[in-house]
Structure 1
Amino acid sequence: MDKLILGRYIPGDSIVHQLDPRVKLLGSIYFIFLLFFANNWQSYLFLAVFILVAIKLSKISLGFFLRGLKPLLWLIIFTVSLQLLFSRGGEIYFSFGPIAISQFGLINAALIFCRFVFIIFMSTLLTLTTIPLELTDAIEFILSPFKYVKLPVHEIALMISIALRFVPTLMDETTKIMNAQRARGVEFGEGNLFQQMKSIIPLLIPLFVSSFNRAEELATAMEARGYRGGEGRTKYRVLNWEVTDTMAVIVFAFVTVGVILLRG
C-alpha cells in the first residue's frame, strides 16, 4: 500500500509543474476521452509516446509510476482476463465451454490493459505535479457555472481535493496498523476466505477510528482559522494563464488530430 502514488504531490520546477492546474485537469479528462476514441494499436502507440513525453517533461522517474501500478495490478489482471477469456470474434485459438481465446479477445484485452495503464499514469501525473490547493481552485473554476443553480461549488471542490489529499495518508495509516497487528500475531492473507475476512476486522476498526479522529481534527482546524464556506472568500493564490498553457492546448489539439488520422 505504501506504493500507491495517486494523491501524492512531488515538488518540482518542471514545465508540467508550472502549467496552470486548469489546463492539467481538463487535459487529463480530455486525454481519457481520447483513449476511448482510439481504436487500434497505431493510435494507442501515439498516445503512449505522448504520455511518456509528458512524464519525461515532469522530471519524475518512470520507475516511480511503474511501482505505483502494483496496488492496482490485480484489478487490471482481473479485467483483462475477463476480456481475454469471454470475448469472441475473429480466429479462435482455444475454446472450452464458455471460455475462449480468440483474436478479438486478445486485441480487446491489450486495449483494455493500455487504457488502464494510461489512465493511471495521466491521473497520477496530475496529482504528482499539482498542489492540492491549486487543484481545488481548478475544480472550482470548472464548476463555477453551476453556482447559478445554487450548487455549492466551493464545498464540492474542497471535498474532492481533501479526498485526493488523504488517499496516501490513509494508505500510510493502513500500513502502520497492519504492521502493528502483525506484531500482535495477526496473519493477513492466511487461511481460507472466512479466516482472511476475519483477520481484516482488527484492521478496519482502528482505521475507521483514526479516519474519524483525523476528520474531526481537520474540521476543528478549519473552524479555528475562520473557515465559513466559499461565500465572500478571497484567494491567496490567483490562477494566471501563461504562454506555456496556450502551448499545452495547442499540443492537445495536435494529439487529437493525430489520433483522428491514425484511428482505424
Structure 2
Amino acid sequence: MDKLILGRYIPGDSLIHRLDPRSKLLSMFLFLMIVFWANNLVTNALLFAFVMLLLFLSNIKLSFFLNGLKPMIGIILFTTLFQIFFTTGKDVLWEFWFLKVTVEGIEQAGIIFVRFVLIIFFSTLLTLTTMPLSLADGIEAGLAPLTRFKVPVHEIGLMLSMSLRFVPTLMDDTTRIMNAQRARGVDFGEGSIVQKVKAVIPILIPLFASSFKRADALATAMEARGYQGGDGRSKYRVLSWKMADSLAIAVMFLVGLALYFLKN
C-alpha cells in the first residue's frame, strides 16, 4: 500500500508544483496529442529528454515514477511483443510458422514501448505534483462552459473530489481488514489462482459494507450542514492563472511544433 501512486500527492515547492492545475491538465491533453507524432528515433529522443527534464524540475525521486509504471508493465510487454511478432515488413530477421520478427516490427515495438512509458511518466507527474482536491477543481473549471448545456459540472467536480479524497481512506480500510483476516489464519499469497480469488472475497464484502456506511454518513453530514449544490457558492480554493502557466502551455506548443516537423 505504501507504493500506491493513485491519488498520492508529494508536497513540494518546485516549478511544477506551483503551476495551476488547469495548465497541468491542458498540458496533459496536449501531451497525449503530440506523443503520437514521435514516430522515429529523433522525435522519441527529443520527447524523452523533455519528459526527463520535467521530472528533474519536479524534485521528485525517479523511484516514484517507476512505481507508477509497475502496474502497467504487463500490458506494455504484451503490446510490445505483439508488435514484434505480428508487424509485417521487408527485412525479416526470424520466422517460425505464423510468427515473424522484422526490423520494422522491432522499430515499431520500440516506439510503442517508449510511448507507453512517457504517457505513464507524464500522468504520474501530474498526480504527484497536484493535490487531489486542486485537480478536481481544475477539472470542474475546465468543464465550466458545459453548464450552458445543463451539464452538472459542480456535481461532477464534487464526485471527483470525494473520490480522490477517500482513496487513502479505502486503502487504510483494506489494510485493516487484511490484517484482521491474517489474524484469523487467512493466507493471501499461497495456493492456486482459484484459492487466491476466494481469499479476496473476505476482503471485498466488509470493504463494500464499510464504504456504503461511510457514504451514508457523508450524505447525512452534508444535508445537516445545508448543502444545496453549486449555485451561489463561493470557493475556498481559488485558482489563479499566472505567467508561468502561459509559458508552460507555450512550451508544450513548441515541443509539439518541433515533433510535427521532425516526424516521418
Structure 1 Cα separation of the partners of residues 176 and 92 of structure 2: 48
| Structure 2 residue ranges without an equivalent (≥5) | none
Q: Deviations over 1:94-132 (max 9, x none)?
A: 333333332233223222222222122111211211122
Alignment CA distance shift 1:85-1:228 (3 Å): farther
The 3 A distance-change label for structure 1 pair 200 and 246 is same
| Structural mapping, 1:1-264, within 5 Å | 1-264=1-264
- Deviates most, 125-134 or 145-154: 125-134
Give the secondary structure class of the aligned counterpart of 2:100.
strand
SS in 2 for 1:188: coil
Letter in 2 for 1:242: K
**Structure 1: stretches of 5+ with no match in the other structure:** none
**Segment of structure 1 superposing worse, 42-51 or 186-195:** 186-195
The alignment yields a C-alpha RMSD, in angstroms, of 2.2
| SS of equivalent to 1:151 | coil
CA shift, 1:146, in A, is 1.1
Offset at 1:16?
Answer: 0.9
The percentage of aligned residue pairs carrying the same residue is: 55
**Could you give the per-residue CA deviations for residues 1-44 of structure 1, whole angstroms, max 9, x where no partner exists?**
43221221122111111111110011011111111222122212
Provide closer, same or farther for how the CA distance between residues 126 and 223 of structure 1 changes in structure 2, counting only shifts above 3 A: farther
Moved more, 137-146 or 77-86: 77-86
- Provide the secondary structure at the position in 1 that maps to 2:17: helix
* TM-score, normalised with respect to structure 2: 0.89
| Code of the aligned partner of 2:222 | M
Residue-by-residue CA offset, 1:54-108 (whole Å, 9 max, x unaligned): 1111111112211232233223223323333333324233333333332233223
TM-score (norm 1): 0.89
Letter in 2 for 1:246: S
Q: Residue 93 of structure 2 aligns to which amino acid in structure 1?
A: Y
Q: Which moved more, 1:200-209 or 1:87-96?
A: 87-96
Q: Distance in 1 between matches of 2:89 and 2:69?
A: 30
Question: Is residue 133–residue 164 contact of structure 2 (8 Å, CA) maintained in 1?
Answer: no
Separation in 2 of the partners of 1:102 and 1:161? 48
Secondary structure of the residue aligned to 2:93 is strand
